[in-house]
Structure 1
Amino acid sequence: MCGECGYKTASRSRLNEHARIHTGVKPYKCDQCGGSFARKSVLDQHMLLHTGDKPYMCGECGYRTARKANLTQHMTKHTGVKPFKCDQCDYSAAQKSDLDQHMTRHTGDKPYMCEKCGYRTATRSSLSVHKRTHTGVKPYKCDQCDYSAAQKSGLDQHMLLHTGEKPYMCEKCGYRTAYRTTLSQHMSKHTDAKPFKCDQCDYSAARKGTLDRHVRQHTGEKCYVCEDCGYRTALRFYLTIHMRTHTGDKPFKCDQCDYASAQKGDVKRHKATHTGEKQHLCRECGFRTADKSSLSRHIKRKHGLPKHLKEPQTT
């Protein structure tokens, strides 16, 4: 039995492994990235990120993964069985760990804390990913460009830039996007619900993350910094774009010519040179342009009205 928390096991080796949770000892080291782990089995799984080996395969559809737990979770897609039920809402899950994570939404509990900066989270996996912001480890590599990510989900989203796939669709209007978060943000246009309020002005937002970004306009905080040149910004998105000035990465391509850009908006504006489309309309005088920023300048110069009072209209 563990003298710290009362954990019990019949195996001395498992008790020794468990004790490392309290001591922080991580004797198993990765020789490729410097990561360290409390258990050899976790190191073995980690090494698959470097080798790309995926030994576990689904007999139903051919899906492959590096982890047995991922295969077990995947198999529920074929069976549809979700035996673990939330007693506070109608959520159900195929795995108890998923239910445990869901329950933190009701309790607000965040038991996992980063020892370096105090960041707290509800899930161990989120903490593991967060720690890569300190180590700089990005084990997930793109096979089409030099992009790498700390999370597999980040690489999966990046790959959509190459494929052009937009798997997330709004059931109300047919809008499609490559990102689930973008779809969630889009859905607020249909509900008009903006429960997150700024305590310094009358701004409100549909998402807390959007409000957090807005608040930085009041505080002037620029928490994202480029390690290459010291550039600072309030938004992670802007830092991602900025980093492409160092890497030269231009993932957004025009499908009608060889034009490429580091920003999606640049390609969208460029395509208007092929189509001649001018989708941004001034409500005051009927002026049209292909570029939203051009419309904003037009409104300010010709009508002398702040942008937030004369919102650009897209047709």
Structure 2
Amino acid sequence: MTKHTGDKPFMCGECGYRTTDVSYLTIHMRKHTGEKPFRCDHCDYSAAQKSNLDQHMVRHTGLTKGKPCSTAQKGTLDRHMTEDDGEKPFKCGECGYRTVRKSSLVTHMKRHAGVKPYKCDQCDYSALEKHRLDQHMSRHTGEKPYMCGECGYRTAYQSDLNIHMRTHTGAKPYKCDQCDYSVTDKGYLKQHVVTHAP
């Protein structure tokens, strides 16, 4: 029904992207997490979406769904070449932070300037980005817009939903560099690392 009403209950806590379907949000979140589950059999390329892998396969097969390779999307290949080569041409002059996208650098620079244009009208909280203010407002309203499509778990924060989703996928991306311990949440890894301290 959300497609008919225009309601987009699933929102990205990183950039404010909204969607009608949790599966679209899952795909979108890969832009932030860097997860690329679709892997090429012929080289070390991997992609966040199957359609991007299909386009990449043109390099090996010369065909895009039965058409000559000239129909492949050059923009996708250019992005793939830049991101996979690790090239980050946009650099912060203050701290050395580097990024693939100019828009990310612009946002980063505002942090150095202390710019927080989004103000809460119920307390003294202010934020650099609108989606951060939207998240904060849930403290006042009690709203929990992020919902797990697997079990119905709801939360006010996208980051909490991301961590929760790992209980379904079994993903444990935070790994100890001193033993084989791995965990779903960065905070738990920090607690664990203390056990190795002398």
TM-score w.r.t. length of structure 2: 0.54
Following the alignment from structure 1 to structure 2, what is the Cα–Cα distance between the partners of residues 215 and 207?
Answer: 13
> 2:136 matched to 1:214?
yes
Deviations 1:198-247 (A, max 9, x none): 11112111111111111111000001122333321011221111121222
User: Is the aligned partner of 1:157 residue 2:34?
Assistant: yes
Q: After the TM superposition, which residues 38-57 of structure 1 pair with which residues of structure 2 at under 5 Å, given as runs? A: none
Report the Cα distance in structure 2 between the residues aligned to 1:115 and 1:200, rounded to whole angstroms. Answer: 32
Q: Specify the code of the residue in structure 2 equivalent to 1:150.
A: I
Answer yes or no: is 1:252 the counterpart of 2:174: yes
1:263 aligns with 2:185: yes
Give the superposition deviation at 1:118. 1.6
Larger Rg: 1
What amino acid maps onto 1:241 in structure 2? I
1:271 and 1:169 map into 2 onto residues whose CA distance is 31
SS state at 2:4 partner: coil
Contact 1:157-1:179 within 8 A present in 2 as well: no
Could you say what secondary structure the match of 2:151 adopts?
coil
Structure 2 residue identity aligned to 1:158: E
Alpha-carbon separation, structure 1, partners of 2:196 and 2:101: 26
Give the SS at the match of 1:239: helix
Aligned to 2:4: 116
Amino acid at match of 1:154: K
Name the count of aligned residue pairs: 139
Q: Judging changes above 3 Å, is the alpha-carbon distance between structure 1 residues 244 and 253 closer, same or farther for their aligned structure 2 residues?
A: same
- Please tell me the residue identity of whatever aligns with 2:118: F
Residue 223 of structure 1 aligns with an amino acid whose one-letter code is P
Aligned to 1:192: 114
For the aligned residue pairs, the C-alpha RMSD in angstroms reads 4.0
* Contact 1:213–1:235 under 8 Å retained in 2: yes
Amino acid at match of 1:201: C
Q: Secondary structure at the match of 1:154?
A: helix
1:232 aligns with 2:158: no
Q: Residue 45 of structure 2 corresponds to which residue in structure 1?
A: none
Distance in 1 (CA, whole Å) between partners of 2:24 and 2:131 is 25
Could you tell me which runs of 5 or more consecutive residues in structure 1 were left unpaired when the two chains were aligned.
1-113, 121-128, 139-148, 277-315
Contact 1:261 1:267 in 2 (8 A): yes
Instruction: Point out which structure has higher relative CO (alpha carbons under 8 A, 6+ apart).
Output: 2
